[in-house]
Amino acid sequence: MQAFPRGTTATPTAVVVPPSLALPVVESAFPRRLHPYWPRLQEKTRQWLLEKRLMPADKVREYADGLCYTDLMAGYYLGAPDEVLQAIADYSAWFFVWDDRHDRYVVHGRTGDWRRLRHRLHAALDAPRHHLCHPDPLVAAFADSVVRLYGFLSRTWNQRFARHFHAVIEAYDREFRNRTEGRVPRVEEYLTLRRHTFAHWIWTDLLEPSAGYELPDAVRKKPAYRRAALLSQEFAAWYNDLCSLPKEIAGDEVHNLGISLITHEGLTLEEAVDEVRRRVERCVSEFTEAERDVLRLADDLADGTVHGKELSAAVRACVGNMRNWFSTVYWFHHESGRYRVDSWDDRSTPPYVTNEAAGEK
């Protein structure tokens, strides 16, 4: 399904990208498509949010489609079996809800609540079936997502996914402490932390069930493959920072590449914006080089055997979806209601978040 720069809600409108955030190379060289399952995906994820009590019914009706969480995943994992894409989309929606809960705990200084949630998520990741009926809907929904994701590939893949997500949880804990203490991390520290809070390796891991093939370590750890994967994820994280920088400065935030550059490198706001944009654009240009290296790797893997043919096809599917990440992330930032802060009645509180959904009474 070819997708165009128009919103994907029930009443699509042309998307206007501010000139300061426009990336003509992404718009022209990274065509956007959506998985053909997308309309059903949107409907079922909306139902899942209700069933798991992650958002109240009125908020789901008013905001779920406009947040475009399913659009983001349907534009990334093309070729995935419907069941796999559904599990990924539900997990992604959960991730955004978790991120909102984390934010509200920071804003209200709820250190004890965050500590308890952190420990519960670690436990649910290791034993998800034991947490399916947890009283906290966020924990129960996470367990449900993990059980489903663990059903597609081998125990080895599951262990890798768990290892990577344990690191994400700990990175969120570090961000919690930085934000509550008002501490701006230095640039290199921030870049390392961001790779975990943005879950770089989680979204990369999920390329494999989407391709229906678990890649061996010898392929995943090839410099060409890792470089392409990292560049696609760095683009997403830094473009997010570029789009969020003005509002995060206004909100006295501490976690943004631009804020680290201003604080520790002495850059002005304009210089920081230019530097973040330069890094974003470099990710795009360097990815095209890395992509060619991965495609050559795929050619080399096709050694005439059935195994070689299947492995080569899986690598091609994975790097093809890495490419999709550029366009789907780009348009998501200009379509999702998550980033329309200027239209919120209270700029400090997203309208789709309620006290109940954020674990507050």
235 counts as catalytic: no
How far is residue 13's CA from residue 254's CA, in Å, rounded to a whole number?
Answer: 34
96 counts as catalytic: yes
- Of 137, 68, 28, 30, the closest CA to residue 334 belongs to 68
Write the CB contacts of 121 (distance below 8 Å, at least 6 apart in sequence).
Answer: 98, 139, 142, 169
30 counts as catalytic: no
For 254, phi and psi rounded to 5 degrees?
-125, -10
198 counts as catalytic: yes
Residue 97 has which token pair? 């809800």
Catalytic-labelled residue, pool 95, 161, 165, 235: 95
Give the C-alpha distances (Å, rounded to integers) separating 92 from 95, 131, 136, 142. 5, 19, 18, 10
Q: Which helix (H) or strand (E) holds 224?
A: helix 223-250
Catalytic-labelled residue, pool 176, 198, 287, 332: 198
Catalytic-labelled residue, pool 96, 118, 227, 282: 96
Q: Which amino acid is at 95?
A: F
For Cα atoms 315, 28, 296, give the angle at the middle one, nearest 5 degrees.
25
Which residues are part of the catalytic machinery?
A: 95-96, 198, 338
